[in-house]
Chain A
C-alpha cells in the first residue's frame, strides 16, 4: 500500500466525517494549520494503525513529533511494520 496515498485518504475521510475544512496537504503544511484538531489526529492515527499496520507514535516514545505534513508522511514511511 502506498503510505502517502493512504495517509492523504485518511486525512480527507476524517476531515469529512468531522466537518473540518482541510488545507491543501503540501509537504510544508504545518499540521496545526491543517484544519484537523487533536481528536481528528487521534482517529487518523488509529485508522492508519489498522490500514498500514504501523503506529510510529507508540513505537518510539522519544521520536520527535512530526510538525509538518511531510514530517508526518516520513514518520510513517520510516516506521517498522
Chain B
C-alpha cells in the first residue's frame, strides 16, 4: 500500500491502473516530463510509465518553473504530464500536455513492459540551472538494502520528497518489494506528518539530518516509535546521531552516503559519524576511494551521464563519479568535512561551514545551525552563524556568548563565527538539506 496525504492505493491498484486522464495519447516510446503538485500522483504516473515510456523526467516541486523549458528541451520531452492547470496552460516547448487525474482508474488490459525506461533526476547546480542525471530502474533499484527483508508489519516512510534521489530509492524499494510506504507532503507541518507516521505504524523511516533535527524539535517527536532510522543527504554529525539515539533508544540508526549521481555508496551503523576505512573495500560491486581529497565512487548504481550537449562529464575516464564531498582521515576514521565548492575563504584559510556547524550543534542549547560567509574587505570573508535554540525564548544574549566561548575553545581562530544570530528556524529545502545561498 502507498499512502499519501489525501490518497492511498495498493501496489496492485497502482500497477494495474492508470492516473493519466487522456488515454488517446500514446505514451509508448515517448519522453515524458512529470511535473505534478503532489508526490502520490507523481508516484502513480511513474509506475504507469515505467516500461512504456522511453524516458521519464522527474520535475521536483521546489524547482522554479522557469527551468521547465530548458529541462524539456534537454530531455527532449514529447509529453508533459501535470495536474496543475497553470503549468498545463503553457506549452513550454513540449508537443503534448496530459492532465493527470485525481484517482487511479483500473485498466482493462495490462501493458507489457517492453522498454527499459530511462529515469532522469534533476539536481540543483550552484548556478541555479539544474543538471539532468540519467538513470535506469536498475541503477536506481540496485542497492543492498541494509535492513532485514520486509515482514508483513514493515511500513516505510521518508521525510524526503520521492522525486529526489533520497526519497526515490525508498519508493522504488517499497514498490518492488510490495512494502507499505507512507509519503510525506509539503502541505503539512512536521507535527502532522509525525502524527500520520504514528497512525500508520511506520517502522522504518529515513530523512536528512536537517529533517531529523526539525522532527526532534516537534512536540510529537516522542509519538513515533521507529525500529530503524536512516539518515542521508547531508553530513551526519555526532550531535544528531546522539540526539536520535537518545530519543529513540530502541531503534537501529544508520547513516548512508548517497547522491543522485553516485547512487548509494555505503551504510554506517556503528553510531559514530564518519566511516571506518574498511568500508572502502567492503563491497566489490561498489568501488570507493578518496582522491584529491574527495570521495569517488564507481558502481552499477551511479547515473550514467548528464543530458545536454554542453553538460559536464558525470564520470571520469575510469568510470568514477567525483562526489565533490571532501573527506579527511583523522586517526583511524574518515570524516566528511564538506563540499569542495562550499568552502568559505577567510584570509586564505578555507573553512567548511559543515565543520563549524558540527561544533556549534554539540552545544547543549543548540538545535541546529547554519554557517555562512559574510563579505569582508580585509580577509575576503568572515564566518557567521545562524543558530536555532532548542528552547525558544531562552536567554538569547547569554546563549550567544556561551556558544561563542565554546567555539573558541574547539576551533581554530579563523573558523570561529564572528557573529552568532539566534533565529527562530532555518530553511530546509524540499531536498531536505539546509538552504545555503551561494
Which residues from chain A sit less than 8 Å from chain B, CB to CB?
17-18, 38-39, 41-43, 45-47, 55, 57-58
Contacts and interface: CB of A to CB of B under 8 A. Distances in A.
Given A57-B377, A58-B377, A42 B413 contact: no
Interface of B: 346-347, 374-379, 382, 408, 413-414, 418-419
Contact of A46 (B347, B382, B408, B414): B382
B346 A39 contact: yes
A54 to B, nearest CB: 12
B378 A45 contact: yes
Contacts of B419: 46
Query: Which label, helix, strand, loop or mixed, suits the secondary structure of the B interface?
Result: mixed
A67 B35 CA distance: 60
A3 B347 CA distance: 26
Nearest to A43: B418
Contact of A45 (B346, B376, B408, B413): B376
B383 to A, nearest CB: 10
19 contacts: A17-B408, A18-B413, A38-B378, A39-B346, A39-B379, A41-B378, A42-B347, A42-B377, A42-B378, A42-B382, A42-B418, A43-B418, A45-B377, A45-B378, A46-B376, A46-B382, A46-B418, A57-B378, A58-B375
B382 A43 contact: yes
B377 to A, nearest CB: 4
Contacts of B377: 42, 45, 55, 57-58
Contacts of A42: 346-347, 376-379, 382, 418
A29 to B, nearest CB: 18
A39 B378 CA distance: 8
A43 B413 CA distance: 11
A47 B408 CA distance: 18
A58 B378 CA distance: 9
A43 B418 CA distance: 7
Given A17-B408, A45-B376, A57-B378, 7 more contacts: A38-B347, A39-B414, A42-B346, A42-B347, A47-B418, A57-B377, A58-B377
Contacts of B375: 58
B337 to A, nearest CB: 21
